[in-house]
């Protein structure tokens, strides 16, 4: 008999990944949870219903659209979980239909009755009184009948174009008999396009009464067809595939190519049909035939179509008692916007946290640069802007005043392509040098460079950001702005910008990292550094905040770090394909998601680095597209004061026990419940109150937060 001293083999668990589409729908389910919160103001709940609809629209256009294309072109291609496109579609469809059913149940059973009780009353054809019917009759003839046009559905040949995400009515008349003696269905489609209000105001005794425009038309439909037998009027909405790539290899003019893509989207394949639960199967079959859709693409709903229109109802004046109190952004206490900002930034860099602090300093800096005779050049990257952008206006004014102004405009910013094309043409007319980014990559970095002639020589002023140059979303999205005149960062910023505009070979940066070149490599090195320290018995710790985590290589190295004993805290608003809390794989990883009044959007990366933390802000999420297929920036923040601020933002989020959900090893998100002796901490509210306090009060508030919520590990 022999014995062996060999150690028994230990088997690591097979790496597990959460499906991307499922994770995206889980995020939207968390948004819908806010609409279900009985303690939230009623119109805030309604707003989250509308946000859920907006999110689903994008999900179907982009993610489901992508899977439809993949199923057609590469049906055997499997994802990281070995699922085919068909299997992913079925899985996502099942989850999406359950989410939509819950969305409508919540609105029908909880929100609509409370709206009625508060005087925001939906009136239907059945509940309208005599006076309201007279009002509707007059409105129909004076307004609707003059602009609406029903068009017959042809048996053969192309018919009218039916717009993506727009409300339509399918009108079914009694069949006529063809020359062959067989019944021939008579179908018409009426698009509700143009200047047609969705909510028709009606006089009520107390409050605000309204009828949906589709109900008004249905009430009067026989006035369009006085001699026909109208069998059915069915509101419906189609969603078209928007996942179309630009063929840049053959595009001599990217502006024209993007215009063609926008046109192509108008006729792309249908990935969803929404229609009422009450519609007949006959109408469903006809719509599927018209739009070449299958049964799985049909979403029947028990309530009004397109909740995104309810944003206007949620914003109705006179109902402030049904909304959250306004949180106004604070002006940064150590910046005087009435004085030149160049001297103030040269004295010391500034870190701003939006929307708790105003975005005005960024706009003011650019406006001052446009008017300052000492400024000789302005360079900026624009990914998304507002409709009446003061940023673009300042660039155009600067160019008209003879400054060298260069703007990199990303024409492929999904769903903002048309606006960016419009701005690009206007800026070119004003004398701005407009460049359309790097061939084959989206330019997603956020960067402003101002070159100024000063007594000591040329000086560069930079704005590095995590969010877009859009003063509107800067009031709704949490983002970080970093204003600096650091010479090394200035040299890097100029080199980065010129690499994009000149299509030149990249050189070595001093301090920044850029995708697709060095962000992934830098992150991997930083994570490996924490792994090596953990192996040597030191503390390894990573904290990061971003929007999505899907990149398999990044997930695998995080699993490796966890297995080595590195503590990892991730604040991920949206998609997360990493599964935390699994013994032997990810037991040291914690993932939270915060859904609250503001959209969490900032990207902040923190590495303990042996007790000398390395802290970065970035435009990039940890997704393959951001790290390998986009032009992105990752900027170090080295000033102790600002590093402490960013660390505080991370810690505050990780101690949220009001609006945070934690992803567990079962793959589901669970709302974090405070312990009995633990005070409540709502991170966004805490950060808002800190921003409103005087500087000494901010420090005191931070100390209070840390005393009440000392860092602790919660097991998944």
Active site residues: 444
* 208 within 8 A of 120, measured Cβ to Cβ: yes
Question: Could you tell me which of 598, 693, 663, 713 has the C-alpha nearest to residue 26?
Answer: 663
Q: Is the dihedral of CA 695, 701, 704, 710 positive or negative?
A: negative
Rounded Cα distance between 306 and 293, Å, is: 19
Rounded Cα distance between 536 and 570, Å, is: 24
Residue 691 makes CB contacts below 8 A (sequence gap 6+) with: 329, 330, 353, 356, 357, 698
Question: Could you tell me which of 570, 566, 529, 530 has the C-alpha nearest to residue 549?
Answer: 570
Beta bridge partners of 633: 514
Question: Angle at Cα 496 formed by Cα 492 and Cα 499, nearest 5°?
Answer: 135
Rounded Cα distance between 434 and 426, Å, is: 10
* 595 within 8 A of 659, measured Cβ to Cβ: yes
Rounded Cα distance between 511 and 675, Å, is: 43
Instruction: Determine the angle formed by the axes of helices 85-106 and 65-73, rounding to 10 degrees.
Output: 160
Question: Could you tell me the strand order of the sheet in which 151-152 lies?
Answer: 151-152, 183-191, 167-177, 230-240, 270-276, 298-301
| Ranges assigned E (strand) in 500-553 | 513-515, 541-546
**DSSP readout, 174-220?**
EEEE-TTS-EEEEEEEEE--SS--SEEEE--SSSEEEEEHHHHHHHT
Rounded Cα distance between 661 and 675, Å, is: 15
* 662 within 8 A of 590, measured Cβ to Cβ: yes
Task: Please report, for residues 21, 187, 225, 698, the alpha-carbon distance to residue 228 in angstroms, rounded to integers and kept in the order given.
Answer: 46, 12, 5, 72
**DSSP readout, 597-651?**
SSEE---EEEE-GGGS-EEEEES--BSHHHHHSEEEEEEE---HHHHHHHHHHHH
Quick one: 533 exposed, middle or buried, by C-beta within 10 A (0-12, 13-18, 19+)?
A: buried
- Residue appearing with tokens 């019944």: 183
Buried-exposed string 591-609: b where 16+ CB fall within 10 A, e elsewhere: bbbbbbbbbbbbbbbbbbb
Which token pair is 361? 């300093």
Beta bridge partners of 219: none
Rounded Cα distance between 142 and 649, Å, is: 55
Question: Could you tell me which of 680, 662, 643 has the C-alpha nearest to residue 589?
Answer: 662
* 215 within 8 A of 125, measured Cβ to Cβ: yes
Rounded Cα distance between 125 and 139, Å, is: 14
* 212 within 8 A of 192, measured Cβ to Cβ: no
Neighbours of 73 (CB within 10 A): 9
Rounded Cα distance between 149 and 153, Å, is: 13
Task: Please report, for residues 42, 120, 186, the alpha-carbon distance to residue 317 in angstroms, rounded to integers and kept in the order given.
Answer: 14, 12, 44
* 186 within 8 A of 174, measured Cβ to Cβ: yes
Q: Is the dihedral of CA 607, 609, 612, 616 positive or negative?
A: negative
């Amino acid at each position: 008999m022999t014995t062996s001293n060999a150690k028994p083999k230990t088997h690591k668990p097979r790496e597990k990944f959460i499906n991307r589409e499922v994770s995206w729908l889980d995020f939207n389910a968390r948004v819908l949870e806010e609409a279900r919160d009985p303690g939230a103001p009623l119109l805030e709940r309604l707003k989250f219903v509308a946000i859920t609809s907006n999110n689903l629209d994008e999900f179907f256009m982009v993610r489901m659209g992508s899977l439809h294309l993949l199923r057609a072109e590469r049906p055997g291609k499997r994802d990281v979980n070995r699922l085919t496109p068909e299997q992913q579609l079925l899985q996502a469809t099942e989850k999406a239909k359950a989410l939509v059913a819950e969305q409508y149940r919540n609105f029908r059973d909880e929100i609509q009755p409370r709206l009625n009780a508060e005087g925001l009353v939906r009136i239907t054809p059945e509940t309208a009184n005599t006076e309201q019917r007279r009002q509707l009759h007059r409105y129909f003839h004076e307004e609707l009948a003059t602009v609406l046009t029903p068009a017959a559905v042809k048996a053969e040949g192309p018919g009218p174009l039916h717009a993506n995400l727009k409300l339509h009515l399918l009108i079914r008349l009694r069949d006529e008999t063809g020359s062959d003696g067989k019944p021939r269905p008579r179908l018409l489609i009426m698009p509700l396009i143009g200047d047609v209000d969705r909510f028709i105001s009606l006089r009520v005794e107390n409050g605000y009464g309204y009828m949906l425009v589709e109900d008004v038309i249905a009430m009067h439909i026989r006035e369009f067809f006085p001699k026909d037998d109208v069998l059915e009027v069915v509101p419906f909405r189609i969603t078209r595939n928007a996942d179309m790539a630009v063929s840049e290899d053959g595009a001599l003019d990217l502006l024209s190519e993007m215009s063609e893509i926008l046109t192509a989207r108008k006729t792309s394949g249908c990935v969803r049909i929404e229609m009422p639960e009450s519609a007949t199967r006959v109408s469903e079959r006809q719509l599927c035939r018209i739009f070449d859709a299958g049964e799985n693409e049909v979403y029947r709903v028990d309530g009004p179509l397109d909740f995104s229109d309810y944003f206007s109802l949620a914003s109705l004046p006179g109902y402030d008692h049904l909304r959250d109190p306004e949180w106004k952004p604070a002006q940064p206490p150590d910046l005087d916007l009435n004085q030149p900002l160049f001297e103030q930034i040269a004295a010391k860099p500034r870190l701003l946290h939006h929307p708790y602090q105003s975005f005005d300093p960024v706009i003011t800096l650019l406006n001052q640069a446009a008017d300052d005779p000492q400024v000789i050049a302005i360079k900026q990257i624009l990914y998304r802007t507002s409709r009446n952008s003061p940023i673009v206006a300042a660039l155009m004014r600067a160019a008209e005043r003879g400054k060298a102004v260069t703007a990199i405009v990303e024409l492929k910013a999904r769903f903002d392509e048309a606006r960016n094309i419009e701005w690009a043409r206007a800026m070119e007319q004003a004398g701005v040098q407009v460049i359309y980014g790097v061939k084959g990559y989206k330019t997603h970095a956020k960067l402003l460079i101002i070159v100024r002639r000063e007594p000591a020589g040329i000086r560069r002023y930079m704005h590095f950001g995590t969010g877009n140059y859009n003063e509107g979303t800067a009031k709704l999205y949490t983002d970080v702005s970093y204003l600096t005149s650091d010479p090394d960062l200035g040299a890097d910023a100029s080199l980065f910008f010129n690499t994009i505009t000149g299509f030149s070979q990249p050189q070595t940066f001093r301090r920044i990292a850029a995708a697709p070149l060095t962000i992934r490599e830098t992150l991997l090195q930083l994570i490996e550094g924490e792994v090596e320290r953990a192996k040597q018995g030191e503390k390894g710790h990573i904290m990061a905040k971003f929007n999505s985590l899907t990149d398999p290589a990044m997930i695998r190295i995080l699993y490796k770090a966890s297995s080595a004993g590195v503590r990892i805290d991730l604040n991920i608003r949206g998609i997360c394909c990493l599964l935390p809390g699994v013994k032997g794989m990810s037991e040291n990883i914690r993932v939270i998601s915060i859904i609250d009044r503001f959209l969490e959007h900032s990207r902040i990366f923190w590495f303990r680095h042996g007790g000398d933390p390395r802290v970065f802000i970035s435009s990039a999420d940890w997704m393959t597209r951001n790290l390998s297929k986009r032009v992105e920036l990752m900027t170090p923040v080295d000033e102790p004061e600002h590093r402490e601020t960013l660390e505080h933002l991370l810690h505050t989020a990780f101690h949220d026990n009001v609006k945070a959900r934690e992803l567990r090893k079962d793959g589901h998100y669970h709302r974090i419940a405070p312990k009995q002796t633990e005070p409540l901490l709502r991170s966004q509210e805490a950060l808002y109150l800190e921003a409103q306090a005087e500087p000494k009060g901010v420090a005191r508030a931070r100390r209070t937060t840390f005393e009440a919520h000392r860092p602790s590990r919660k097991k998944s």
